[in-house]
């Protein structure tokens, strides 16, 4: 069995599982990224997100995550919704409209690895989605799936940036896609100009400690700093401004993943509904939603912050 056949098999399995794109790069240490990540951490742009500094050596070397790693398979899954929220006074990031993507993608990666083992043989591999020490955007760019825009997101020329990125590292030699070396942002600065908290800096550097998503999801403090008052533009969970204004997202098409069907409450809740929500109801309605990441207390804190 040759590498070409194995590569085609993996790409067809990915397609059958509903992934929109699949690209493959050679597994090797990311020395350039190591320098960039170190500089970013030294400036404190990770805020209270200490986990971003943990496992530094694992982030930059796939061989430390999967012994004998030969290939990094990157998969993109579209989450752009067909419907938008009806209440613009309490905004929620589009990625959180449906079921929690971590669970959805984890089960797909498990099935993908299973199919590889059943059809190719005893392959050692590990799947990652967002929560592990993997520089997924770099691998996506190395496998030709897009470029990293000024807003720090991976942008795909055909479909924009409303994608989740998943990574599968395997100890199997495959055919590698050509990296995308061109940057198609050009002189456009819409994401920088429109960021409500000026979190997007030049040279594709994002000050995570200023991002609305950081304050509304990652920050575990009981209060959001007063300095941010009036800057959240009604975003209660996450923020999509830098993606919404990106010209490449005119190519976004609604996803066809059943698990990302928006919760009616997310589309239709008024401010009043959010305020009257009890913890018991929150746990019941949002039990499969990414909103549970910030917990009930976090939702109440965010709501209070954007309304006063």
Cα distance between residue 217 and residue 211, in whole Å: 10
203 among known catalytic residues: no
User: Which of 211, 234, 15 lies closest to 112, judged by CA?
Assistant: 15
For the CA atoms of 121, 127, 133, 136, the dihedral, rounded to the nearest 10 degrees, stands at 100
| Total residues found in the chain within this entry | 308
In this structure, the strands spanning 91-92 and 235-237 are parallel
Q: From the candidates 57, 130, 221, 273, which is the catalytic residue?
A: 130
Cα distance between residue 238 and residue 137, in whole Å: 19
**Backbone phi and psi for residue 205, each to the nearest 5 degrees, phi listed first:** -105, 130
HEC string of 62-105 equals HHHHCCCCCEEEEEEEECCCCCCCCCCCCEECHHHCCECHHHHH
Just list the catalytic residues. Answer: 130
């Amino acid at each position: 069995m040759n590498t070409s056949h194995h590569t085609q098999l993996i790409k067809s399995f990915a397609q059958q599982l509903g992934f929109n794109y699949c690209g493959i790069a050679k597994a090797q240490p990311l020395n350039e990224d190591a320098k960039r990540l170190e500089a970013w951490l030294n400036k404190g742009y990770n805020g209270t997100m200490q986990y971003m500094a943990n496992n530094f050596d694992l982030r930059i070397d796939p061989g430390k995550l999967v012994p004998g790693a030969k290939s990094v398979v990157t998969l993109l899954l579209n989450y752009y919704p067909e419907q938008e929220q009806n209440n613009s006074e309490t905004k929620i990031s589009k990625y959180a409209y449906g079921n929690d993507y971590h669970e959805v993608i984890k089960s797909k990666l498990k099935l993908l690895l299973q199919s590889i083992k059943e059809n190719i043989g005893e392959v050692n591999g590990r799947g990652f989605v967002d929560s592990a020490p993997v520089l997924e955007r770099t691998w996506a760019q190395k496998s030709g799936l897009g470029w990293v825009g000024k807003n720090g997101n991976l942008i795909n020329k055909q479909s924009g940036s409303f994608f989740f990125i998943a990574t599968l590292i395997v100890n199997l030699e495959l055919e590698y896609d050509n990296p995308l070396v061109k940057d198609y942002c050009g002189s456009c600065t819409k994401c920088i100009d429109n960021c409500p908290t000026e979190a997007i800096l030049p040279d594709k550097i994002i000050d995570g400690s200023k991002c609305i998503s950081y304050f509304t999801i990652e920050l575990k403090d009981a209060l959001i700093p007063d300095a941010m008052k009036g800057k959240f533009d009604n975003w209660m969970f996450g923020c999509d401004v830098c993606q919404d204004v990106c010209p490449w997202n005119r190519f976004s098409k609604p996803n066809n993943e059943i698990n990302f069907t928006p919760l009616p409450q997310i589309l239709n809740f008024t401010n009043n509904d959010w305020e009257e929500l009890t913890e018991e109801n929150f746990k019941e309605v949002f039990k499969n939603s990414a909103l549970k990441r910030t917990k009930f207390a976090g939702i109440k804190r965010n709501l209070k912050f954007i309304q006063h």
